Amino acid sequence: MGKLFMADFKRRVHELINTGKYLYSSGILPATSGNLSARLSDNLLAITVSGAHKGFLTESDIMLMNIRGESMDGRKSSAETLLHTYMHQRFSSVILIPRLGQI
């Protein structure tokens, strides 16, 4: 993967980290509930790994996966992965999807 892709991936990772912090500090997204994902290209997503605390995300809490829900870096995604991939497939203009869990 090229430098341009990696720069875009890092930008999306930081957007997810900041979104997680905001949603957690606002009381909207508790601890490890829910997931966050962001589109990188037509075929790739950045998504939070299973069990990550959304208020204290780090770069290592974000994984790379394809639009079919297959891990591209060998890490485990959450049980809600297929919901995210479906939404990204169905709504191609969507960039960021927060899955907030039960409120």
pLDDT tens per residue, range 14-40: 999 999 999 899 988 888 888 889 999
Compute the average pLDDT of residues 58-67: 95
Is 83 inside any structural domain?
A: yes
In a domain, 69, yes or no: yes
Q: Is 103 within a domain?
A: no
Question: Is there a domain that residue 68 lies in?
Answer: yes
User: Do residues 64 and 72 touch, judged by C-beta distance below 8 A?
Assistant: yes
61 assigned to some structural domain: yes
Pairing of strands 62-66, 44-48: antiparallel
Task: Tell me what percent of the chain is helix, strand and coil, each rounded to the nearest 5.
Answer: 40, 20, 40
pTM of the model: 0.86
Band of pLDDT at residue 46, cut at 50, 70 and 90: very high
Is 14 among the domain residues?
Answer: yes
102, part of any domain? no
Number of domains forming the structure of the chain: 1
**pLDDT at site 45:** 92
For residue 87, tell me if it sits in a domain: yes
Domain range holding 78? 3-97
- Domain CATH code at residue 55: 3.40.225.10
Q: Is the pLDDT of residue 102 over 60?
A: no
